[in-house]
Structure 1
Amino acid sequence: MTSALQIAFQTVGGFVLFLYGMQAMSSGLQKLAGKKLKEILAALTKNRLIGVAVGAGITGIVQSSSAVTVMAVGFVNAGLLSLKKGVSIVLGANIGTTVTAQLIAFDIAKYALFFIAVGGLLHLFAPRKNWQLAGFSAFGFGLLFLGLNTMTGAFAFLKTEPFFHNLFVLFSQNPFLAVLGGCLLTFILQSSSATIGITQALALVGAIDFTAAVPLVFGENIGTTITAQLASIGASRNARRLAWSHTMFNVLGTILFMAFFFVRCEGAPIYLWLIDKITPGNVFAGVNISRHIANAHSLFNIINVLIFLPLLNALVWLVSWLVPGKDEEIIGSEPKFIDKRFANIPSIALDQAEKEILHMMSIARSMVPLALQGLFDKTGHDVAKVQTLENVTDELQAEVIEFLVSLESSGLSHSEAVHHNCLLHLVNDVEKIADYALNIVYLVDNSLANDVKYSTRALDEIRIMAGDVDQECALSVKAFAENNMRLADDAFQVEGRIDQEKDDFRKNHLERLKSKECNLNAAAIFNDIVNNLERISDHAVKFAKWRENPYLYQ
C-alpha cells in the first residue's frame, strides 16, 4: 500500500472514529439524561439568566449544541416554550458547546483505549440500563479521542504539503476566507464540535497557526446554525424565528470579533493577544495551541452572550422582522407536538405523544356538541365539519401510533414501557370518541331528513346527558394532565351518573312512546344517541382510570 493511501485511510478512518465517538457519547448522554432534560425545561422560568444556564447546562451534559437547539426549535414549534425563552436557551447552548473543545485540549488520547474497554464492557454486560448508557457514553468518549489521535498522525504531512501550506497561509493573511472555510466545512458536517476538533488536530501538527485557527472557529460557529435552520423548515413562524436567532447571534458576534482582528497589540490581533495572556504557554511559539483554540472558542461565546443577553428583546425584534407575520395556530391533521427527532430520547418523546393525544382529545370533545347542534338549532347542523374533524383524529391517531411504535427500539425502561403501552391504548380511545360523535351527527341528520319530532323533555334529557359527558371529559383529561386523583374520583362519579342516566332516560322515552308523546322513529334515534353518548363516556373516563391504575392495560 502506498504512503498516500495509508494517509488517506488513516485520515478517513480517524475521522469516522471521531464522528462516531462524538455521536455515541452524545446519544448515550441524551438517553441517560432524557428525563432530567424534560424536567429542567418544564421548570424554566421567565428569568433569562436561568434560560441561559439551562441551555449551557443541558448542552454541557449531552455534548451537542445541535441537539439542544433542535430540541428548543421543536418545543417552540409545539408551543411548549415562548420565543424569548427559546432564544435564552440557544444563547446558553453556545456556551455549553465549548465544553467539547476544552475536553479535546486535555491530553486524554493515551487513555482512549481504557475508556473504550471499560465503556464497551459496561454497555454489553452491565445489569442496569443506566450503567449500559453510561458505558456507551464512555465508549464514545474513548472513540472520539482515538479518532482524534489517528487524525492528528495523518495530518502531519499537511505541514509540508505545498497546496495545504499555501491555503493555510492564505487563511492567516485573509481571516475572512478562514471564516468562510470554517462555515462551509461545518455546513457539510453539521457539527461545530467536530470541525473545531479537526482545527485543533491541524494546529497540533503545525499545519495551521493560531492566527488562521481562530477565524476558522468563528466560521464554524456560524456553520453549526444550519442544523436549527433545517429543523425549522415547515415549522411555525416562532420556530423559524428561533432558528434565525441562533444564526444572527453567531453572525453578529463574528462580525464584532473580526473587527478586533484589525486592532493590534504587541504585533498581534488584540483578541489573539488576550487569549495568549490568559492561557499558559506562548501560542505564537506553538506552545499549548489546542488549549488556546479552546479558550478562544469559549471566550467568543461567553462574551457574545454577555453582549446579547441585555439585548434579548432587540434580538427577538430583529428575528421577528426577518420572519414577519403573526404566528398562526397549528391546526389540521399535522401533529402539533410529536417530533420524530426526539425518538431517541424516550422520556421526552413519550411526553410529546401524551400532549398530542390530549390535543386529539380536545378535537374529539369539540365534536360532541357540534354533532348534537342540529337537534336544537337546524341552522347549526354541519355534518361536513364533524366528518372533517373525525378525519383529522384518524390521521393524528395514525401519526401517534407510528411515532409510539418507533420508540420501541430505543430501549424503554420499565416505567417508560408502561407509559408507552397506556398511550397506545388511549390514542385508540380518543379515536373511538370521535367515531361515536360521527355516529351521533348521522343520527341527527337522519332526524332532520325525516322531520322527526322530539318532545321538550327528550331534548332536555339529551342536553343533560351531553353536558355530563362534556364535564366528565374535562375532569378525566385534567386528572390525566395534572396527575390529580381527586379529579379522577370526580370523573368516576360523573361516569356513574351517566350510566344511570342512560337507563333512566331510555325508560322515560319508552313511557313517552307509550303515551304517544314521541313516535317510533324518535324513540329509536333517541336511544341510539343516548347509547353513543354513554360509549363516549366509557372511553373518556379511561384517562382518569390510567391515572388511578397505570397497569390498567397490562
Structure 2
Amino acid sequence: MIAHHSILILIIGGTAFFLFGMSIASDNLQSLAANRVRDVIAKLSTKPTLAVFAGIVITVIMQSSGAVTSMLVGLGTAGVITLPQVMGIILGTGVGTTITTQLLSLNIAEWGLPIFAFAFLVHFMTHRKTLSRVMQALMGFGLMFWGLEVIGIGTADLKNVEIFTSSLDYLRANPLAMIAITAIFTAFVHSSAAVVGIAMAMATSNLINLTDAFYWVYGANIGTTATALMAAAGGNTVGKQVAWSHCLHKVVMVGIFYFLTPYAAELIMTGTPARDVANAHLFFNITGTILFFPFIKQGAALIEKIFPPSASEKDFSVKYLGRMNFESPNVVLAHAERECLRMADIVISMIKDSILILKNENIDLADDLRTRDNQVDMLNREISLYITKYTDQNDGALNKEMIRLFGFAADLESAADVIDNSILELARKKHSLKLDFSNEGWSEIISLHDAMIEVAALSVSCFQTQSKDLAAKVVFKKRVIRKMEKTMREAHIERLVQGKAETINTSSIHLDVLSDYRRVVGLLSNHVYTFLRGADNFNRPRGD
C-alpha cells in the first residue's frame, strides 16, 4: 500500500514522520529530566571532562545538538557559564547526537510501527505520569524508525530516476557542492540526525557509497550549527562567541577530514551500509572531540580574539564590588548596596523606554533593551555571588541586611525580564501585525506606565533610605495601580462590547501589557512589604 505512493511523497512523508517522532521523543525526555537541563549544564561545566560528559547526556535528552548549543548561547549571553566551559559541552554535543544515529542503524526499522503501537497502548492505559512520559518518548522513537523505513522505501526507487542519478553523479564529482547542499538542508530541517538517517537509507539502497556518506556527514555537522548562529543573532558578544565556536569547530574538522575521506571510509567499512554511515558520523565526532579537547582553553582564547566584545560591553562591569577581603563588613554592605542602586537605575531606564517600543517599531531600541537586560542579569549574578561570599562572616543584623539586598536585586532582575521577554515580544507582535491601540486604550496604557515609573522611583528611594513614609506611599500607589488596572480592564471590555475595531484587534496585547506593567509594580514593591512586615501599624491586605 505504501509503495503505491510517489517517490517524493514517500521521502517527504518519511522525513516528516522522523522529525515529528524526534520532537515527541525530545519533549518527553526533557520532561522526564524535570527541566533540570540548565542546572546540569551549570554544575557539570566546571571541569572540561565533566563538560564533555554533560554535552553528551543533554544532547541525548534533547535529541538535537543545535538545540543544546542554542541553549548554551542563551546561558552564555546571560553570563551563567563562560566560553571555556561552553567549549567542552560543545565537544560533547557532537558525540551525543551520534547516539541517535547508532540506534537508527540497528536493523529494526520495520519494527517502528509495532514499537509505536505498543508504547501507545501502554500510554493509553496507564495512569502513572512517569510511565506515560516514557511511553510517549518510545512512541517518538517508533515514529523515527518508521519514518526511516518509509524513506528507505522511497529512496529504493530513486535509482530508476535519471535526473536524480545524474545529480548524484555531479555531486559525487564535486564533493564541496554535496557538503554545501546537505548543510543547507540540515539548517532547514534543524536536525543532523535526520540528514544522516536519509544518508543511511540511500546507502542501503546503493545510491551512495561510504565516501559519499562521509560528505553527507560533513554537511550535516556544519548545517546543524545554523540553529545556534540564528539564536545568537540578537544576543551579545558572548552568545555570538558560543555560536561561532560551535560553527568553527565543525568547519575545521571538516577541513581536516576532507582530504582523508577515502582513507577514513576504508578504515571503518564493515559491509553493512546503514551501520557504516552511522559509524562515519560517530568516527567524525569522536575524533573531533579527542583532537580539540586538549586545546579548549586555547580555542576559547582564539574565539575571544576573533570576536572581541564591543566597546559598550567591554566598559560595562561591576563598579563597587571589590575582590578583596574587607576588614569592615559595613564596607561590604555599602558596596553591595551601591551596585544594587546602579542596577535599579538600569531597570528604571528600561521601564521608561518600554512605552516607546510599544508606540513605534525601533529595532535599535529593542536591541538596546536586550543589552540592558543582559547587564542587569550580570549585576544580579555578581551581587548574589558577592553577598553569598560574605554573609557567613557577618553578624545576624548584617546578614539580614544582605538578604534584603539579595531579594531586591532578584526582584529587579525579574522586572527587567518582564520588559525584555514579555513587553518586547508584545511590541514585536503589534508591529508585525500592523496594529494600533485605540486612542482610549493607548491613553490608559500611558497612564498606567506613568504610575509605574512613579512607584519605581519611590521604591528605589525607600530601599535606599529605609523610610516608613516612603514605604507607605509605595503601598498606597500600588493599591491605586491595582484599582487602575481593574478599571482599565472593565473599560476595555466595554469597548469590545461596542465593537470598536482597534480594541478588538489589539485586545490580547492590550490586556497583557496591563498585566505586565502591574507585575513590574508588584516586583518593585516586594522589598517594601518585607521592610514593613514588623511594623505594628501596618497590616498587608489580601490581594496585594
TM range (shorter): 0.5 to 0.7
Matched, 1:309 2:293: yes
Q: Identity over aligned residues, as a percent?
A: 30
Matched, 1:531 2:518: no
Q: What does residue range 37-116 of structure 1 map to in structure 2 within 5 Å?
A: 37-116=37-116
**Offset at 1:357?**
13
Question: Aligned letter for 1:289?
Answer: P
Secondary structure of the corresponding residue to residue 309 of structure 1: helix
**Offset at 1:118?**
2.9
CA offsets per residue over residues 108-159 of structure 1, 9 Å max, x none? Answer: 2232123212332344453233223222211111111111101110111112
| Counterpart-to-counterpart distance in 2, 1:307 and 1:432 | 59
| Counterpart-to-counterpart distance in 2, 1:59 and 1:394 | 32
Matched, 1:319 2:310: no
Structure 2 residue aligned with 1:540, among 513, 519, 527? 527
TM-score between both structures, scaled by the size of structure 1: 0.61
Matched, 1:150 2:114: no
CA offsets per residue over residues 393-432 of structure 1, 9 Å max, x none? Answer: 8774455678999xxxxxxxxxxxxxxxxxxxxxxxxx99
Secondary structure of the corresponding residue to residue 81 of structure 1: coil
| Counterpart-to-counterpart distance in 2, 1:194 and 1:544 | 56
| Counterpart-to-counterpart distance in 2, 1:214 and 1:227 | 22
Cα pair distance change 1:466/1:8, threshold 3 Å: closer
Question: Aligned letter for 2:234?
Answer: G
Secondary structure of the corresponding residue to residue 97 of structure 1: helix
CA offsets per residue over residues 284-308 of structure 1, 9 Å max, x none? Answer: xxx3111111111111111111111
CA offsets per residue over residues 490-548 of structure 1, 9 Å max, x none? Answer: xxxxxxxx8xxx5xxxxxxxxxxxxxxxxxxxxxxxxx436347889983277899xxx
**Offset at 1:323?**
1.8
Structure 2 counterpart of 1:382 = none
Q: What does residue range 105-504 of structure 1 map to in structure 2 within 5 Å?
A: 105-261=105-261, 269-276=262-269, 281=270, 287-326=271-310, 327=313, 396-397=417-418, 436-439=455-458, 469=466, 502=468
RMSD: 4.2
TM-score between both structures, scaled by the size of structure 2: 0.62
Structure 1 unaligned spans of 5+: 262-268, 282-286, 336-351, 363-389, 406-430, 445-464, 470-497, 503-527, 546-551
Question: Aligned letter for 2:268?
Answer: I
| Counterpart-to-counterpart distance in 2, 1:194 and 1:234 | 27
| Counterpart-to-counterpart distance in 1, 2:67 and 2:15 | 21
Cα pair distance change 1:191/1:531, threshold 3 Å: same
Q: What does residue range 513-528 of structure 1 map to in structure 2 within 5 Å?
A: 528=469
| Counterpart-to-counterpart distance in 2, 1:161 and 1:210 | 21
Q: Is the 8 A contact 1:112 1:146 kept in 2?
A: yes
**Offset at 1:10?**
2.1
| Counterpart-to-counterpart distance in 2, 1:357 and 1:252 | 32
**Offset at 1:9?**
2.3
| Counterpart-to-counterpart distance in 2, 1:242 and 1:127 | 42
Q: Is the 8 A contact 1:17 1:143 kept in 2?
A: yes
| Counterpart-to-counterpart distance in 1, 2:417 and 2:305 | 33
Structure 1 counterpart of 2:332 = none
| Counterpart-to-counterpart distance in 2, 1:54 and 1:108 | 29
Cα pair distance change 1:544/1:149, threshold 3 Å: farther
Cα pair distance change 1:162/1:74, threshold 3 Å: same
Structure 1 counterpart of 2:24 = 24
Cα pair distance change 1:538/1:316, threshold 3 Å: closer
Alignment coverage as a number of residue pairs: 386
| Counterpart-to-counterpart distance in 1, 2:2 and 2:106 | 33
Q: Is the 8 A contact 2:459 2:525 kept in 1?
A: no
Structure 2 counterpart of 1:266 = none
Q: Is the 8 A contact 1:27 1:62 kept in 2?
A: yes
Secondary structure of the corresponding residue to residue 196 of structure 1: helix
**Offset at 1:359?**
5.2
Secondary structure of the corresponding residue to residue 107 of structure 1: coil
**Offset at 1:467?**
6.1
Secondary structure of the corresponding residue to residue 259 of structure 2: helix
| Counterpart-to-counterpart distance in 1, 2:278 and 2:184 | 20
Structure 2 unaligned spans of 5+: 318-345, 352-372, 384-410, 427-449, 479-523, 533-541
Question: Aligned letter for 2:194?
Answer: A
Larger radius of gyration: 1
| Counterpart-to-counterpart distance in 2, 1:357 and 1:133 | 36
Deviates more, 1:146-155 or 1:131-140: 131-140
